[in-house]
Chain A
């Protein structure tokens, strides 16, 4: 292991804590406030619901609830197949639907994760010829206060 001399020690300490302070100061810009040591930033619970927009390409669509994040859809050959959000999303904080769960690291982190997951799941629905878009509704309760319902949709398929 390198044993630093006094100048090296001072330079190392300056560089390390300079970086630490920069990360702490910019933590609010990251959804989960990573590297900021902000312990227990919020008390947030969330109820999320998953919907599919189904319809023919180019035609009108209707929104269908996918209870528990699971649904059945036909493939291109007309054969029914089962699909689940959890097949693609293993991270348990964002794969529970229609129940109230703790939003780890607060609403911004949960929102960021779900929005990224929406596009990812929609892009990996091989065999689902019906679903045009996935839609998630989020009902947050932040520090005990109910928030307006937020709706996010994936990119169209």
Chain B
């Protein structure tokens, strides 16, 4: 995955990058007028007026549409047990504000329909906003089915509806990259919401002695093993993990990781590392705890931390590697690369956004950083590349 700070300018040395890359990328962000002066107020002004490519916003909207569809399926499954008011129920709302059975069924249908509209990209923004409001209302109605992951999903979806997320991956979306430019303030709010979730989660853990000391995490692993056996490697890992001398440092690591993610996702130098750490953090949670939609929701939000620009990197593909180039293009979900032909006999090369041209292993590392499916490989390979570079440096 690619990452850049909000409003961060393109680095020097971009001359090797194709002109179209600059059109869709750097120039796209340079349209943001100055917020007036420096400091906090200046930063606020820039944030309110910042503009950029909305390609990744469109992809994120598509992801949220699928998550809303999944939430719809869960709501229908729960409704199969019967209308919640016909049985014991608790609500955040007074009884007078709760729906009748026909209205409840209509709301479930509306939620599903709106989620389909979000996926298709047809009237996507109003659909996203309405779906989140319907979902929040249903969440408030049935307190027994309250889940943090659903609340987080609707918060993100509501904020995303204020962003121009309907200009890519949508019916009737413009093909011209310049027409995809739009304001990014609401995208930044979605990102801020992710940080708020991490911050709230980490600070409450930090304040709890059982959490800090590893008692809670160790016991949770032990209880999980009592309820469910998943086999190798999860079970041996959890058995090892449940030991107090392991759970205690791991608890501190979890708290530190969440704090790092809350802040590191905003630091240009740390962002790619934060995304990589966060990816493994959520995959681990999902494998060991199964937290419904939460991991998928957060990983979808991670897309928004990619630079709001497309084709800033280039992939030079010689004729002999044309098939490979085509496959890599298919993996380029975030449109990070401009694929261009290289001369016969030339190696496949990747040109990073700073203009640095790499071939062989170095090119693969550049690809790993920018292609979501290869991103899990990026950090260890980048560390290896750095180590090799240091070893080659003359003493």
Residues of A at the B interface (CB closer than 8 Å) are 1-4, 6, 9-10, 12-13, 16-17, 20-21, 24, 27, 32, 34-43, 45, 88-91, 93, 102, 105, 113, 116-117, 120-121, 143-144
Contacts and interface: CB of A to CB of B under 8 A. Distances in A.
B151 A34 contact: yes
20 contacts: A13-B189, A16-B159, A16-B189, A17-B196, A20-B193, A32-B146, A34-B143, A37-B148, A40-B217, A41-B204, A42-B216, A89-B88, A90-B81, A90-B87, A93-B144, A102-B223, A116-B88, A117-B88, A143-B210, A143-B219
Given A37-B196, A113-B144, A143 B215 contact: yes
B192 A43 contact: no
A43 B88 contact: no
A35 B159 contact: no
Contacts of B196: 17, 20-21, 24, 37
Contacts of B49: 6
A4 B87 contact: no
B48 interface: yes
Given A1-B125, A88-B87, A6 B48 contact: yes
Nearest to B197: A37
A43 B82 CA distance: 30
Nearest to B198: A37
B152 interface: yes
A42 B192 CA distance: 26
A37 B200 CA distance: 6
B98 interface: no
Contacts of B92: 34
A39 B88 contact: no
B222 interface: yes
Nearest to A3: B183
A103 B223 CA distance: 11
B227 A40 contact: no
A88 B210 contact: no
B23 interface: no
A83 to B, nearest CB: 14
A91 B193 contact: no
Interface residues of B, number: 49
A91 B204 contact: no
The secondary structure that dominates the B interface is helix
A35 B193 CA distance: 13
Contacts of A143: 210, 215-216, 219
Interface string B148-166: 1001100100010110000
A88 B88 contact: yes
Given A1-B126, A1-B161, A116-B90, A39 B220 contact: no
A10 B90 contact: no
Contact of A39 (B90, B129, B159, B201): B201
B203 to A, nearest CB: 9
A91 B242 CA distance: 30
B308 interface: no
Contact of A40 (B126, B129, B220): B220
B87 A89 contact: yes
A41 B207 CA distance: 11
B156 to A, nearest CB: 12
Contacts of A38: 148, 200-201, 204
Given A20-B193, A43-B223, A37 B152 contact: yes
Contacts of A88: 87-88
